[in-house]
Amino acid sequence: MKRCLRWVFCGVVVAGACGMDAQNAPSPAVLNALAAQPNFLAAQPNFPAAPPNLFARWGDFYKADWKPAPTAAVPTADPNAAAPETKRGLASPLTSPPFPSADWSYGGSPVIGEPDGNVYPLMTAIDGAKDRTKVYGWIAPSVNGSTSVHRNQPETNDIYSNRVELDQAVVYIERLPDSVQRDHVDFGYHLTAFYGTDYRSTTNKGYFSSQLLDHNRQYGFDPVLEYVDVYFPHVAKGMNLRAGRYISIPGIEAQLTPNNYMFSHSLLYSIDPFTDTGVLATIQVNDQWVVQLGLSASHDVALWTPDAKPSFTGCVSYTTKSVNDNFYLCANGINDGFYAFDNLQMYDGTWYHRFGKTWHMATEIYSMSQRGVPSVNGTITPEKGTNGANCLPGEQRCFAPEWAAVNYVNKQLSPHDYLSLRTDFLNDKKGQRTGYATKLSEGTISYNHWFGSTVQLRPEVRFDHAWDRAAYDNGTRWNQFTAATDLIFHF
């Protein structure tokens, strides 16, 4: 995910793509190359010595980010230094910040051909952001007020009504493969430590899952993501091979909160798969086409659980030359489709469209199903953490389908602000995903503001409605109104 950051060395802002023309901002590679030159900092009279204390340097990053000093001239780079990497292929259609990503992203891989230009406060304090292995993350508390008394479900992220809570405290250790170059195989890796109430949405059976499935704890820990990437430059225009546990690849939203347009999730996202464990190949066929093929253990289950079964994933992404449109189609987790823990047969389509420099929309629709789901009125007990289906009288098992659609319309107001409107519809025909056989809809409007490039505030108001039966506040309410916000502090 591209970030528009101010470049800070020794507590002095040398450039800032958010506070000046981004074309004039030096790339991270230039700054890192400058900093790596022998005696470079000592030779720059306008660059005072860095504080010896790690926490002082860390604090200096935030001071400069929130209240930048006048932009200083960028010293001339060593002519013998390596040239900075630039993105291969199509231009990025958006700016980030304020949006979560600058690209029409596909899941399961870094954007092939895009350099790692991310600079983080902690790594800048540790080593001047020179190491390719980066440690970073965020803390995201939230508060919500709701007309429901006990639970906001099936709304997610703030399922507990009228609370202040810690949604996510996340630490990443990450190295991205260099997919700009075309001459050698490269590798990357990713590890995640994730704590908060949102573990309830990421829980994968077999990975510390008893916290939720056996004890129903409000707070919990989940490793969420752990994988290795290997980049092969000579397969088409580049191929990334990912092995491990990764975010289930289709769709607009992700469980990692900075990756989303809003604080709360859509109804569509709240019931779909969250993570897969397996192998996924992402192939950049040319500048406009990306093809993905993968094999996983099905959705939200570890390889060593009895629910695991070989499952196919295939996706294709197409972007127009103007980058005004992207179409992303996926068949996700396809196997025999028989009931197991989150063994959903998912067919998903996403369309991104850019109306102009500051307006764009994102639309997603999917269908999902399982067959042989135990009836809520039968004698077969569903697995822990899953729901039965509202089958016909006398049926012990039945086919349980659902479909959903969501649309986001986003307007950028400034380099630090945007508005987002979401409309959303879900038809949980047999109630297998939400526990209530009903159609649901919601509308949300959100204002998103960045303080510098390290803190996000995302207040929103939302109205939900159940069409066929009461489904909110533990099945006692037909309607629900919520006002909520989170605050994301990046480090």
Per-residue pLDDT of 292-303, as tens digits, reads 999 999 999 999
Over the stretch 284-332, which tens digit does the pLDDT of each residue have?
999 999 999 999 999 999 999 999 999 999 999 999 999 999 999 999 9
- Delineate the domains of the chain, giving CATH numbers in brackets: 6-66 (no CATH), 121-490 (2.40.160.10)
Q: How confident is the model at residue 105 (pLDDT cuts 50, 70, 90)?
A: confident
pLDDT at 37 over 90: no
Given a contact cutoff of 8 angstroms between Cβ atoms, the answer to whether 365 and 408 are in contact is: no
Kindly tell me the number of DSSP H helices and DSSP E strands found in the chain: 6, 20
Does 8 or 149 have the greater pLDDT score?
A: 149
Angle at 244 between CA 307 and CA 270, to 5 degrees: 60
For 130, left (φ over 0), alpha (ψ -120 to 50), or beta?
alpha
The contacts of residue 447 (CB under 8 Å, 6+ apart) are: 417, 419, 458, 459, 460
Smallest CA-to-CA distance from 138 within 32, 274, 273, 3 is with 3
Query: Cα dihedral sign for 448, 463, 156, 391?
Result: negative
Given a contact cutoff of 8 angstroms between Cβ atoms, the answer to whether 179 and 110 are in contact is: yes
Compute how many other C-beta atoms are within 10 angstroms of the C-beta atom of residue 395: 15
**Secondary structure element (H or E) that encloses residue 54, with its range:** helix 54-66
pLDDT at 27 over 70: no
Q: How confident is the model at residue 208 (pLDDT cuts 50, 70, 90)?
A: very high
Over the stretch 407-432, which tens digit does the pLDDT of each residue have?
999 999 999 999 999 999 999 999 99
pLDDT at 26 over 50: no
Computed over every residue of the chain, the mean pLDDT equals 89
The contacts of residue 153 (CB under 8 Å, 6+ apart) are: 159, 434, 472
Looking at residue 395, what is its pLDDT? 97
pLDDT at 46 over 60: no
pLDDT at 78 over 60: no
pLDDT at 16 over 60: no
pLDDT at 382 over 50: yes
Could you give the CA distance from residue 396 to residue 380 in angstroms, rounded to a whole number?
A: 7
Q: What percent of the chain has pLDDT over 70?
A: 87
**Secondary structure element (H or E) that encloses residue 125, with its range:** helix 121-127
Q: How confident is the model at residue 114 (pLDDT cuts 50, 70, 90)?
A: very high
Average of per-residue pLDDT across 41-66? 74
Average of per-residue pLDDT across 206-214? 95
Structure tokens at 8: 């800070």
Beta bridge partners of 342: none
Smallest CA-to-CA distance from 231 within 276, 297, 176 is with 176
Looking at residue 68, what is its pLDDT? 81
